[in-house]
Each structure stands twice: as C-alpha cells, then as structure tokens.
Amino acid sequence: MRIVVTRRIPEAAVETLRQAGEVWMSDADRALEPGELAEAVDGAAAIVSMIHDRIDGSVADAAGPGLCVVANVAVGYDNVDVAALAERGVLVTNTPGVLTDATADLAFGLLLALTRRIAEGDRLLRARRPWSFHLGFMLGSGLRGKTLGIIGLGQIGQAMAWRAKAFGMQIVYSGRSRSAAEAELGARFVAQEELLTTADVVSLHCPLTPETRHLIDSAALSAMKPSAVLVNTTRGPVVDEGALADALTRGEIAGAALDVFEREPEVEPRLLELDTVVLTPHLGSATVETRTAMAQLAARNVAAVLGGEVPPNPVRQ
C-alpha cells in the first residue's frame, strides 16, 4: 500500500511507515503546491499531512478510492476537511498529548520574554547601542500576583496554568464548558467578557473553528486592560492581526507574543516594527523529542488503520 508523506519527517517514523507499506516522501523543503499535492497522492492508501497542507475532498478524490487514512502531524486539524473525508470513507487522525509540555513551555517562555523585555534587550545589545545600568533601565513587569486568563483549558491550557501557578499567578479561564481540572488548578471559570476585562495576561489555547476565527478582534482587544498582554500559541487566525497591530500602536494593550500567524508564514508588517511584540516562527512543538514523537504517533496511526486496527488517535466528528 502506498503511503505519501507530504514533507520530511524523522527517520524513526519513516521506518514505522515502511513496515506498513511503500513510502513516498517529498524531498522539497517547502509545502507542496495544490497541484503537486494532488499529483503526489495519486494511488495513496494513506497520507501523512502537515498543518500547511489543505486536505479536502478534492485531494481525497485525487488519491482515489483506495485512500483509507489521513494522519495529520498536529493536534489541530483545521487544515483537514474531516466531513468531506468521512463522506469518502477516509479516517482522519491527529497527534494530541505528545506536544503539550513543549507548547506550554514556549508559551510561558514567550510571556517571560515579553514581560521582562528579554528579546528587546537582546536586540539592543546586538545593535551595539550604548547602555548603562540604572534603576529605571528597561523596566519590565513581574508575574506574581497577576491574573492569567486562559481561553481554552484543554491539555495545553492546563499545562500553561501549572507553569503560571509556579510563578504565583492567579488563574481564570473561559471556554465552551467547565473543566474538571479547575479545582486542582485553583482556576476560576468566567465568561470570556470578564476574562478579557480582568486578566493581566490573555493566553490562547482554543482550537481554530469558524466560531474562534478572529475571536480576538478589535472589540476584544479594546476590552482588555491597557497594561495587559496577549500570548498566542494556538492558531494564527484566532487573532485579527490587523486589529492587533492597531491596538498595540494606539496603546490599547501593552504587548503581544505570537508563535503563530494569520497568513503564515507571512506576518503583519506593522508587528515587526514594534518593540512591544515578541515573535517566533511556529516553534511551539519544536523540540527534537516532541517533533519525533509527533511523527511517530502519526506513523502508528497509519500503521494501525492499514493493518485493520483502530488507530490511537482518531478524530471524532
């Protein structure tokens, strides 16, 4: 059975796939164009996809009736039309759990880099600008006693909350329903409107859906405290980047730290000019251990389906 991998993955995962079928892996160091993707998947029984691949009914049709599974190497699967694939009898899987700590580590690292002006200080030194220590020099803000507002208290949101508690922060959260973890975390469930108006830090951990696209828009940003900061490590389109740039320029909020972008890999140009913004190129899961585990989990999902078994991580409609 033919297994198509749309972009290079760790060799350990490739070996797992080879035990299940014949592997074709793109050697292009970029996302495949739609036409290239359609050509590559012809005759595939399985597709191992990345978040930049749009996998819809037309891709499934290009693969043909033998396509059994699309294994997305990510927790989120907003790039996959699950309903269209289900209509064609194609199962979709994802890779939850294995990237929780890595993503929460980065989210909290971004928060520290922003509030303690770490990236800004690094730029100052690299630019060889003159500086001298004094008690008012490059003052940031501490986190102890501040309120972290988490939108989406899933696995990564909970991991972010644990890190915040270690720094002495108070936790509030909002979402579609209350979390069973709130008592253990000492977190308080609030309406999103209250979270936005009271949190010192708003951290986004919700999936990208039609309801959450531009969840953080001009109205949401204007509701936040002028001293508050925004952290986004989930999906770029959850934030209206143009509205964010406007809010930061006007001083409506104090800063933002982003690992994901609305039109990735493009970034709103105005954000690049602001010292109140910290940016990283989608590094949430970017550790050797985590990316390897993600690829291996995707490979195990493929092997299970092609072997007639239930995969570890099927996506439920």
Q: What single DSSP character describes residue 135? A: T
Is 282 assigned a catalytic role?
yes
Cα–Cα distance, 48 to 60 (Å, whole number): 13
* Cα distances (angstroms) measured from residue 121 to each of 129, 230, 245: 10, 20, 21
Cα–Cα distance, 84 to 133 (Å, whole number): 60
Cα–Cα distance, 277 to 181 (Å, whole number): 31
Is 39 assigned a catalytic role?
no
- In sequence order, which residues have a C-beta less than 8 Å from that of residue 288 and are 6 or more positions away? none
The two three-digit tokens of residue 299, written as one number: 């490979």
- Spot the catalytic one: 2, 7, 205, 235: 235
Is 264 assigned a catalytic role?
yes
Beta strands in the chain (DSSP E): 2-5, 22-25, 46-49, 69-72, 91-93, 147-151, 170-174, 188-189, 201-204, 229-232, 255-258, 277-279
Contact yes or no for 63/44 (Cβ under 8 A): yes
Beta strands in 188-261 (DSSP E): 188-189, 201-204, 229-232, 255-258
- Spot the catalytic one: 36, 120, 182, 264: 264
- Spot the catalytic one: 163, 205, 282, 300: 282
* Count of C-beta atoms within a 10 Å radius of residue 39: 11
* Count of C-beta atoms within a 10 Å radius of residue 183: 8
* Closest by CA position to 111, among listed 136, 143, 138, 139: 143
33, burial (CB in 10 Å: exposed 0-12, middle 13-18, buried 19+)? exposed
Q: How many residues does this entry show for the chain?
A: 317
Beta strands in 165-314 (DSSP E): 170-174, 188-189, 201-204, 229-232, 255-258, 277-279
- Catalogue the active-site residues: 235, 264, 282
